[in-house]
Amino acid sequence: MAVIKAREEDVRLLARLMRAEAEGEGEQGMLLVGNVSVNRVRSACLDFKDIRTIPQMVWQKPGGYEAVDKPYFYQKARESELRLARRIINGDRLHPGEFSLWFFKPAGNCPPRWWNQWNVGRYKSHCFYKPTNTDCPEVYNY
């Protein structure tokens, strides 16, 4: 059962975003980007108060994803990436992305805090950050 509404074109958009942000980190990395993305749609808090759809999340400015400004984002989604996007839309959660709203790739170690959120882990080159349950309870409810 889907945890957010998504038309087929939304699935394709999310799949392209997941690949563009984390293709070099394999399926797990792409799934983690998907977790963060779905959490942004569900959260209704912090920088994501007005984000309710996948397109709004993908194209959010400021605060959105850097990959949308790169040519490789505009490549057609492959079946394997569509499968991963559907898994995330249907509620798969993976640590450290399961409650995260942010990730980034630092030059060195993960800072303990980033944009006033706590680090919850690293996967390959990306550090993941989640809000507190008082700042953003919706991200914890599904």
Strand blocks (E) in the chain: 102-104, 113-114, 117-123, 126-130
pLDDT of residue 116: 87
pLDDT of residue 141: 85
pLDDT of residue 54: 98
Q: By the 8 A CB rule, do 126 and 22 touch?
A: yes
The answer to whether residue 1 is domain-embedded is no
Alpha-carbon span 130 to 114, nearest angstrom: 9
Alpha-carbon span 136 to 42, nearest angstrom: 10
**Which residues, 6 or more positions from 120, have their beta carbon under 8 angstroms from its beta carbon?**
95, 96, 99, 100, 128, 129, 130
pLDDT of residue 71: 94
pLDDT of residue 56: 97
pLDDT of residue 1: 82
First to last CA, the chain: 11
pLDDT of residue 98: 96
pLDDT of residue 115: 84
In this prediction the pTM is: 0.96
- In CATH, what number is assigned to the domain containing residue 129? 1.10.10.2520
Which domain, by its residues, includes 62? 8-140
Q: Work out how many domains the chain is built from and give that number.
A: 1
List average pLDDT for each run of 10 residues in the chain, which is 142 residues long: 95 98 96 98 93 97 90 96 98 97 95 93 97 92 79
pLDDT of residue 84: 98
The answer to whether residue 115 is domain-embedded is yes
The answer to whether residue 93 is domain-embedded is yes
Distances (CA, A) of 96 to 9, 27, 38, 53, 99: 27, 14, 14, 23, 8
Angle, in degrees to the nearest 10, between helices 79-89 and 8-22: 110
